[in-house]
Amino acid sequence: MRGQLRASLALLVLMTVLTGILYPLAIWGIGQSFFPYQAEGSLIVANGKVIGSDLIGQNFAGDTYFHSRPSAAGNGYDATQSGGSNLATGSDDLIKQVKERIQAIRATGFTGGIPVDAVTGSGSGLDPDISVANARLQAQHVAQSRHMDVGVINNLIAENTRERDWHVFGETRINVLQLNRALDNLANH
């Protein structure tokens, strides 16, 4: 009996050291060595101040900015409450939300097709990216709000478009924070 207890305790200590200390340290070291930007949270700094992350979406208010996807994370883009709405595709609540979002877009005068990511949230509720179609949907409204030519806005969209990772994974997309920063930088120059 004592032999089994000692063996069990020895295995517990060994596994705790391996999986609780050595493995996390090894992964941390690999991250810091090969992916330092990502390992530190992909933080975006402007004027010495952290203004966001390249990997976490945030809410933008006002007509002069591009808007992220709708979010079900807390009160919109609350990283402490990450998650989707968990509503089924046939849910009356989800259908109502999508219809309301479509009506809000139509109220701006837009008559074309509406991309799905403009009216539905992502699985995490914190998606930092929107589709190129979603950005183009918002371009005219942002241009009018900023008293800018829509061609200039479309050029910014093109400059900030990210291709699929390794041309295989994901979709062509635009990081909303980076696009809005480029928009502000253009306005300030």
Which long-range contacts does 142-148 make (Cβ < 8 Å, 24+ apart)?
142/63, 142/64, 142/65, 142/66, 142/183, 145/62, 145/63, 145/64, 146/64, 146/183, 146/187, 148/187
Which residue did the predictor score with more confidence, 186 or 29?
29
pLDDT of 76 strictly over 70 = no
Q: Which helix (H) or strand (E) holds 8?
A: helix 2-17
Tokens read off for 125? 């509720």
Which residue did the predictor score with more confidence, 174 or 79?
174
pLDDT of 189 strictly over 90 = no
Residue 31: other Cβ atoms inside 10 A: 13
Q: Give residue limits of the domains in the chain.
A: 1-40, 48-188
